[in-house]
Amino acid sequence: MKHWKNLGLAAVLAASATGATAQETFINIGTGGQTGVYFVVGQSICRLVNRGTADHNVRCTAPSTGGSIANINAIAAGDMEMGVAQSDWQFHAYNGSSEFEGNQVGDLRAVFSVHPEPFTVVARADAGISTFADLQGMRVNVGNPGSGQRATMEVVLDALGWTMDDFSLASELAPAEQAAALGDNNVDAIIYTVGHPNGSIQEAASTVESVLVPVTGPEIEALIADNPYYAAATIPGGMYEGTPDDVTTFGVRATFVTSAEVPDDVIYTVVAAVFDNFDRFRGLHPAFANLSEESMIADGLSAPLHPGAERYYRERGWIE
Ligand code: GLU
C-alpha cells in the first residue's frame, strides 16, 4: 500500500510572530537540471507560494531532479507532492503505456500546463550534421535516464527503426553537463526536450560553433498525427548564436502534475499563488512570455484535473 510520507510526517509546529503555533505543510516540487526551464518553473512557483506562507502555512521547495520520468515516479512513490513533466509522459504514466507499461500511475493528476517544449537537437557545426538522419554513426548525448528527453528520444529511435547502437557513442549526461561535452568535442550532438530560450543551449551555442538541427520526415509526421500529446513545433530563429532561421521539429508541453492523494487545500493554495500573481509569474522566465490562462488549464493535460485546481478554475469562471 502506498504511504503518504511528506504531508503527515514532515509537518512541523512553527511558532508564529504572536507566539501562537501553526502547522506548516511542506511540499516538494520535482523539476529538472539547473540549466533547464523546469528548475525555474519550480523555483518560481515556490517563490510565489512562500510569499504567502504566513497566511496559508504552505511552504515549498523545488530541488533539481533528473526530469519528467523521475518526477512522476517520485510523485507515485509519495516522495514528492508535485512535479513538472512532459505532456507525453503525463499521458503514458496515467494510461500505463510506453515507458509506464506495467507501472501505471492512476493517481496522477493534472494541475496546469506551462510552456511548449520542442524536441531540440544541437550539433557542433564541424560535425556536418544537418538532418536527424545525419546523427547515424555519431556521438550523441541521449540524456540521463529519468529525463523526458531520454524517454522521448527512445520513442523517436523506435519510430525510425533505430537503436542506441546506431550511434558510435550514446552518452547519458544530464543537462547541466551536456553543453561542456559538446564544447570539449566529447560528443557531436546533444538532445534536449526543453523550453526556449534556456541556459543549457545558450551555454552550448556560446561555447562552440553549433547549429540547431531540424527533426522532420514521414516518421515524425506520423508521430504527430497518431498522438495527441505531440505537435509540430518551431524554434524561432535568432534565439541562439549560429541559428538565424526558424528550425522545424516536433514537441510537447511542460505540464505541472501531482497526486490525487495530495489534499485539495494544498493544491488550491499553490494554484492560487500562481494565477493570483500571473503577470509576475510570466515575467520570471522568457519561456513563459506567451503563456495564457486559457491554454494552461487545457492544453497538454491528459490526466484528470486535481479537485483543488478545479475548485480555483471554477471560482475564476474558467471552467463549468
Ligand atoms: N523536458 C525535460 C525533462 O522532462 C526537462 C526540461 C527542463 O528542465 O526544462 O526531463
* pLDDT tens-digit map of 263-290: 999 999 999 999 999 999 999 999 999 9
78 CA to middle of ligand 1, Å?
21
- Name the residue of 35, 147, 288 whose CB sits within 8 Å of the most ligand 1 atoms, as the mutation to test its pocket: 147
Residues 153, 162: contact at Cβ < 8 Å?
no
Helix (H) / strand (E) element for 71: namely: helix 68-76
Bridge partners, residue 256, by sequence: 84, 112
- CB 33 near ligand 1, within 6 Å: yes
Distance separating alpha carbons of residues 221 and 207, to the nearest angstrom:
33
pTM of the entire predicted model: 0.93
Q: Which amino acid is at 4?
A: W
Distance separating alpha carbons of residues 253 and 113, to the nearest angstrom:
7
Other beta carbons within 10 Å of 97: 11
- CB 214 near ligand 1, within 6 Å: no
Other beta carbons within 10 Å of 225: 8
* pLDDT tens-digit map of 63-111: 999 999 999 999 999 999 999 999 999 999 999 999 999 999 999 999 9
54 CA to middle of ligand 1, Å?
32
* pLDDT tens-digit map of 9-59: 344 444 444 444 578 999 999 999 999 999 999 999 999 999 999 999 999
Residues 175, 120: contact at Cβ < 8 Å?
no
How far lies 60's CA from each of 51, 259, 266, in Å?
10, 16, 11
Residues 196, 118: contact at Cβ < 8 Å?
yes
Which residues, in sequence order, are CB contacts of 50 under 8 Å at separation 6+?
59, 60
320 CA to middle of ligand 1, Å?
32
Residues 38, 80: contact at Cβ < 8 Å?
no
Going by their DSSP bridges, the two strands 139-141 and 169-171 should be labelled as: parallel
- CB 148 near ligand 1, within 6 Å: yes
